[in-house]
Amino acid sequence: MKTIGWILFFLLLASAAIAWADRLAVSVSVANIRSGPGEKYDILWSVEKYHPLDVFQKSGQWYHFRDFEKDEGWIHESLVSKILSVITRKENCSIRSGPGPRFAILFTVEKGIPFKVLNRKNGWIHVQHADGDSGWIHESLVW
């Protein structure tokens, strides 16, 4: 009986951590990712608008997150918001004129390109890049 109690405790703890995790996206044209929660910490890399982030910790006005490659960093809360977004996880992703493979390819993008989600239809996502380009991408190509 004790074992079941411990299992339930750890499941509850894990579900609470998952429930707190929040998907946010960069809301400015370029944002610096830092090694810690403050401007005194090193800049690790920069990301562009609509880059999705899974936040798992908050320290003051700073969010600690993981991205689509499981890299971790810190970002100031003023640089993100609750925007539905995706990022390509494969090379040479086709962006199409409609939600299906029979539609024309408008352009292709490499891995790591973020998009705002406009709509979803039958496994396809209508997306828009920060530069205004838009089209449809299959959900299997994004995170």
The predicted model scores a pTM of 0.83
Which residues fall within 8 angstroms of residue 138, CB to CB, at 6 or more apart? 101, 123, 124, 125
Instruction: Quote the CA–CA distance of 45 and 143 in Å, as a whole number.
Output: 19
Report whether 109 contacts 93 (CB < 8 A). yes
Identify which of 86, 71, 70, 72 has the alpha carbon closest to the alpha carbon of residue 25.
Answer: 86
Q: Helix (H, G, I), strand (E, B), or coil: what is residue 122?
A: coil
The structure tokens listed for 39 are: 């401007």
Nearest Cα to Cα of residue 48 among 95, 22, 83, 16: 83
Instruction: State the span(s) of the chain assigned CATH 2.30.30.40.
Output: 21-83, 86-141
Q: What is the spatial distance between Cα 63 and Cα 53, in angstroms, rounded to a whole number?
A: 10
Residue 21 has what pLDDT? 66
For 13-52, the pLDDT digits (tens) are 444 444 446 999 999 999 999 999 999 999 999 999 999 9
Q: Please name the fold of domain 86-141.
A: SH3 type barrels. (2.30.30)
Q: What is the mean pLDDT of the chain?
A: 90
d(CA 9, CA 1): 13
Number of C-beta neighbours around residue 61 at 10 A: 10
Hey, what CATH topology would domain 21-83 get? Answer: SH3 type barrels. (2.30.30)
State mean pLDDT over 109-133.
98
Q: Are 63 and 85 in contact (CB under 8 A)?
A: no
